[in-house]
Amino acid sequence: MPDFDEFSFLPDQAADAGLPGPLPRGERLTLTLPDGRSLSALRYGDAPPEVTFLHGAGLNAHTWDTTIVALGRPALAIDLAGHGDSSWRDDATYAPRLLSPDVVAALAEWTDRPQVLVGQSLGGLTAAPVAASTPASVSRLMIVDITPGVDPDAGPTQVRAFFAGPTDWASRDELVDRALAFGLGGGSREKAARGVFLNSRVRTDGRVEWKHHFAHLAAAAANAAGEPATDDAVATLLSGAGWEDLAAVRAPITLIRADRGYVTEADAAEFAAHAPAARIVTLASSHNVQEDAPLALADEIVRLF
């Protein structure tokens, strides 16, 4: 619907987290990139952003809503290429080093000071080359539940199977039903419906599809292989940013490890070996820390200011 307010979910999200408010003002931003693609983002608050957020594969900028409300600081949350309201890439390649120039352009356009840069999963791997290539734009780097050496097999198999299924549905209710059947969606139909609404769109033929390209690529890979979603699709998305990107970062680094997420204790130890000055914090959470433990994550971000 043309008059739909995408920020209308904020009161319910704040209430779910026990946050009294006040709620920040939100607005949608769009930047036309040199190659003609559009990059979309959400800006929260009335002052210039102090912190910028990058989401994981298959998510979008709204995944940070509750964390941003809890943080209480002006913020920017970017839809990575192929996700949310940002354009899909014609080459269907979403390696972090290819995504990072878009983020650099966004920081130049929408911020006026060095940012605390927070990236989760694919966003965390993208944040490293951003911080390395533009040190003046990043004051602190927080990487959430990912490392360059993480094993894609460590991720929940139900997520990969979920995206291996159909890519369009007759209604959003069908998509919510599927999410709940796979144990996804935040534990309630209301939360699942909210997530589905913000991460899907209605096509001109009336069918509902995911906004993000990842689901379509994962389904195509699975159908070509004739088996449930392959880890190759995930590995491709998470490839392209290695330890060398992390080594080139000059800003102080924090790694947030979810105790039920992707980063094992061995992964964290390897991270510490490559970035001995980094601070490593373990939180009680699943991989999507910003949704599962937003208040605890916001508390750790506050420490960086």
For the question of residue 83 being annotated catalytic, the response is: no
Distance CA(58)–CA(70), nearest Å, equals 23
Side chain identity at residue 236, one-letter code? T
The strand pairing partners of 140, in sequence order, are 116
Distance CA(61)–CA(63), nearest Å, equals 5
What DSSP state is assigned to residue 121?
T
Catalytic residue among 65, 102, 145, 292: 145
Catalytic residue among 55, 62, 212, 287: 287
For the question of residue 188 being annotated catalytic, the response is: no
Q: At what angle do helices 189-198 and 172-181 cross, to 10 degrees?
A: 120
Q: Which long-range contacts (CB under 8 A, 24 or more apart) does 10-18 make?
A: 10/65, 10/69, 12/190, 12/194, 13/65, 13/66, 13/69, 13/194, 14/66, 14/69, 16/66, 16/191, 17/66, 17/69, 17/70, 17/294, 17/295, 18/295
A 10 A CB-CB count for 269 gives: 10
Q: At what angle do helices 122-133 and 231-238 cross, to 10 degrees?
A: 20
Q: Are 143 and 150 in contact (CB under 8 A)?
A: no
For the question of residue 121 being annotated catalytic, the response is: yes
Catalytic residue among 87, 100, 121, 139: 121
User: Active-site positions?
Assistant: 121, 145, 287
